[in-house]
Structure 1
Amino acid sequence: MAAELEKLRSLPTPRWTLMVTLGLVALGFIAVVVSGSEKESTYLDAAETMAGLGTVIGSIVLGVWMAGVEYGQNTMRRALAADPRRERLLGAKLALAIGGSLALTVVVWAAALVLLSIAASVNGASSPAGDILTASLTSFLANPIYAAIGCAVAMLARSMAGGMTAMLALVFVLDILLAALPIGDISLGSALGDLGGALEGEEGEHGVARAILVTAVWVTVLLTAAWARFTRSDVT
């Protein structure tokens, strides 16, 4: 765990991920200040777009990077030589991917709350702080799941680039295709959206029970497959 934590702390990818996501929030702040809008919804939309989407992508990056960094540098054999307990290494990577995602989400949404509240005050709009806090709940639920799944997909792909490509395809392409199936929407994004809506006091399209089941199936299948591939096959 200590070695994995040191990578998260010292290597540049996590820092760049944080800087880029904070940069998106800063761009949103500038845009709404310049717009001069007095509508509270303008500031909530900016938060959901910049902080919400930004932390989803950032969490995916952290999850894939956490699992794929050794594959990208061809150092996985060295890591296992130092500690051959593969289940422990996989568990440490998952835990830190989830923890890193939560930390990223806290920092970025806090920045969005402060900056967009200032922007609303400058433009004479009502404070969006309460609505922004409520909207952030979806990110706190979804982002750790995206990070864990990103970690699993990178383990399956045994490649950082392959894992990133697969995750982006899953989130932005496969979700759309699965939503159109005649058997009903079984996409991860839709399920997480329904769960987030429930946290925000809104009624989801398919119900909470179905959303929990769909999410649990996605997480269980991908993590189990990643565990089996990582622990039971040779590491290249």
Structure 2
Amino acid sequence: MDGLGLFFIILGLVSLVCGFVVSYLTGTPLIDCKRQRLEEQKFLPIPSSFGLWRERLGLRRAKRLESELARRLRPQLYSNDWTQVLEAAQVLGAMHDRTAVPAMMEALESCVTYQPTGWREIAVALTNALAEIGDSRSLTLLHRLENVRGIGLISNIRHAIATIEPQTNLLRADYSNALPEHLLRPAQSMSEEPEQLLRSISGTEFLD
């Protein structure tokens, strides 16, 4: 066997190993004939940068933590029947199911990219549902879609961004670096100024 043949054999083995590693990290099997998995993947565009690839990798990992409701409705989010997608989005939004956000983001990006029948209605329903849930993970996608011209969804997208962003600027009790005096707290009396309830996550000074 000449050196060139050996090189191609080694290259093939390395490619196979890399494929298994990517499959393990993303939770996507190399060979999967299940209709549901195909429905999830066939609309996904190829990431244009490492940042997008890493973002989608995180979303795939997050889908492993889905609630029973989100898992049951996920096939509807990828359905070819746009009325089914609308129904699933409305239910998940009304239930404020944060575990469904990764799948909803994929469905939103897919419908805007490929524009199937009823895609505008689907995009509006998914955008409104994401706004209702209020999960900050959806902001990256919403900001990206905000810069896409001619999709006719700018008002809905900006409303969703305006709804979600304020929620990311408040400290939560589980914020690792937060001191007790910097967390949200109830007023001690009815006469206390309401500004004392607010604490900024990015500011260096706090209201007294």
Fold in common (TM above 0.5): no
State TM-score, norm by structure 1: 0.28
Larger Rg computed on CA atoms: 2
